[in-house]
Amino acid sequence: QSALTQPASVSGSPGQSTTISCAGTSSDVGGYKYVSWYQQHPGMAPKLIIYDVNNRPPGISYRFSGSKSGNTASLTISGLQSEDEADYYCSSYTSSSASVVFGGGTKLTVL
């Protein structure tokens, strides 16, 4: 299955907001609520920050929010902080193979 499409990089200044997009198809992002987002710092395992499009797990800052419109999901990080600098991956259930597909990842730089 094809990976979901994310921008390779985004950046923002401390305190600003930034949005990362995740484009898929009606067989994955557009067809189901099973979109999740992960944050990964170098050398660490991924960390779940959003599940089911717009839900935050316990302990995840309110500064992280998710949404979806059509076949594209988005992750918005508000009030950027230096510790937000990391790689971010979207993921979705895909009916084309009854499995999971990840986006290519987006590197967030906090200027």
| Contacts with other proteins, residue ranges (CB under 8 A) | 1, 3, 32, 34, 36, 38, 40, 45-46, 48, 51-52, 57, 87, 89, 91-93, 97-105
Gap between the Cα atoms of 64 and 79, Å rounded:
9
Tallying the residues shown for the chain, one arrives at 111
**Both tokens of residue 105?**
């990842």
- 13 forms beta bridges with none
Residue 105 near residue 3 (C-beta atoms within 8 A): no
**Which is closer to other proteins, CB of 72 or CB of 87?**
87
Closest separation in Å from C-beta 18 to other proteins: 19
Residue 6 near residue 103 (C-beta atoms within 8 A): yes
**Which is closer to other proteins, CB of 14 or CB of 33?**
33
Closest separation in Å from C-beta 93 to other proteins: 5
Closest separation in Å from C-beta 98 to other proteins: 6
